[in-house]
Amino acid sequence: MDLKNKHLLDIASLSKEEIEDILNLAENLKEILYRPIPKVPTLRGKLIIHLFYEPSTRTRFSFERASKTLSADTLTFTGKGTSVEKGETLLDTIKNLEAIGADLFVIRHPVAGAPHFIAKYSKVPIVNAGDGTHEHPTQALLDLLTVKEKLGTLSDLKVTIVGDIKHSRVAHSDILAFQKMGSTVWVTGPAQLLPDFKEEDYYKITKNGFKICYNLEKAIKEADVVIALRIQKERHGEALVPSFLEYHEFFGLTPKHLELIKENAILMHPGPINWGIELAYEMEKYPSQVILDQVENGVAIRMAILLKLLTGEKVYESFG
Ligand code: CP
């Protein structure tokens, strides 16, 4: 699959084969990160501009690490201290940074659809690093890579996503990604945080399984993968959860829940974590939680995406 000069905007528009191709390349690239000098010259001379209109630790710094490991030049833009503060539009910012020499933009934006909008006008590839409540495709890809590494397969799994599904771009990308790979996705959480979309909307897209369940215990029973989500307080607009203590009581994952899931099941969280709300503090010690493995895999996935979009590379034997 040739993704050269294309945009990576969402999981919805990636085929299963394209997803597999990105995962395979990321698996091959990972060894570079363990070399004494973790750097290859592949993207020397390319300028990657990271536009982060919203806060980020994992996505922003793993994209920067990925870009630098591939020897690209990087600029990071957060809006502060730029002409955005004087009212410059997103489109004008893009046009001006293209004129400065950008070869690819990575963009995180609070408005759903912002990356899709600029992709219509940009002469260079756009990567969506999270747009409002819509999608976070690179997070879903690193989640897939982590599950593939830990469980050896991405098909016929029961994947349960717990929490603020409605406002979570991670959930929206993960639901599509895991189904595309042939697994069944269950979502659970308080009714007011469950999605507006109908189950059949998601069946139509993927022709696989998707289940909305209001009972945490039933949703996680015999799960292979449990993904806890952060409560997206900043996107609620009004108080949707009466109290976080109450949320924890009914939907926080605690050691007692581990008895319900499969023996080799893994526990994931995209971060940042509200310990004591979506996850009990003790869960940090749970041997099958793979939260930092997800973060580590984020670097390799983002390296693979940058290579695909800028060079169209297929899987390499080795990167010298
Ligand atoms: N998972 C995730 O997107 O984290 P950041 O907001 O820190 O990038």
Distance 152 CA to ligand 1 centre (A): 25
Q: Provide the percentage of residues in the chain whose pLDDT is more than 70.
A: 91
Kindly indicate whether the domain formed by 16-135+297-316 is annotated with CATH number 3.40.50.1370: yes
pLDDT at 315 over 60: no
Residue 269, exposed/middle/buried by CB under 10 A (0-12, 13-18, 19+)?
buried
Q: Note the pLDDT of residue 81.
A: 87
In the block, residue with structure tokens 């799994």? 157
Weakest mean pLDDT among 93-102, 145-154, 307-316: 307-316
Lining ligand 1 with CB less than 6 A are: 56-60, 130, 136, 139, 270-272
Angle at which helix 291-311 crosses helix 137-151, to 10 degrees, equals: 120
Distance 34 CA to ligand 1 centre (A): 23
pLDDT category of residue 164 using cuts at 50, 70 and 90: very high
Weakest mean pLDDT among 173-187, 228-242, 255-269: 228-242
Q: Note the pLDDT of residue 313.
A: 74
Phi-psi region of 191 (alpha: psi -120 to 50; beta: other; left: phi over 0): alpha
Question: What are 169-216's pLDDT values in tens digits?
Answer: 999 999 999 999 999 999 999 988 887 766 666 666 665 678 888 999
Q: Note the pLDDT of residue 59.
A: 98
Q: Considering the chain, what is the average pLDDT of its residues?
A: 92
Distance 320 CA to ligand 1 centre (A): 30
Q: Note the pLDDT of residue 201.
A: 67
Q: Note the pLDDT of residue 194.
A: 87
Q: Note the pLDDT of residue 80.
A: 87
Question: What are 72-111's pLDDT values in tens digits?
Answer: 999 998 988 889 889 999 999 999 999 999 999 999 999 9
Q: Note the pLDDT of residue 243.
A: 82
Q: Note the pLDDT of residue 301.
A: 98
Reference 210, options 179, 173, 168, 171; nearest CA is: 179
Q: Domain 137-294 falls in which CATH fold?
A: Rossmann fold (3.40.50)
Measured distance CA(9)–CA(190) in Å, rounded: 29
pTM comes to 0.94
Angle at which helix 169-180 crosses helix 137-151, to 10 degrees, equals: 50
Question: What are 25-50's pLDDT values in tens digits?
Answer: 999 999 999 999 999 999 999 999 99
pLDDT at 159 over 90: yes
Q: Note the pLDDT of residue 266.
A: 97
Domain(s) of CATH 3.40.50.1370: residues in the chain? 16-135+297-316, 137-294
Residue with more model confidence, 130 or 210: 130
Angle at which helix 169-180 crosses helix 16-29, to 10 degrees, equals: 100
Weakest mean pLDDT among 112-121, 132-141, 243-252, 262-271: 243-252
**CA 130 to ligand 1: nearest atom:** 3
Q: Supply the residue whose CA is at minimum distance from atom 6 of ligand 1.
A: 56
Average pLDDT of 291-300? 98
Which one of 57, 170, 229 would you pick to mutate in the ligand 1 pocket, going by the greatest count of ligand atoms within 8 A of its CB? 57
Q: Note the pLDDT of residue 235.
A: 64
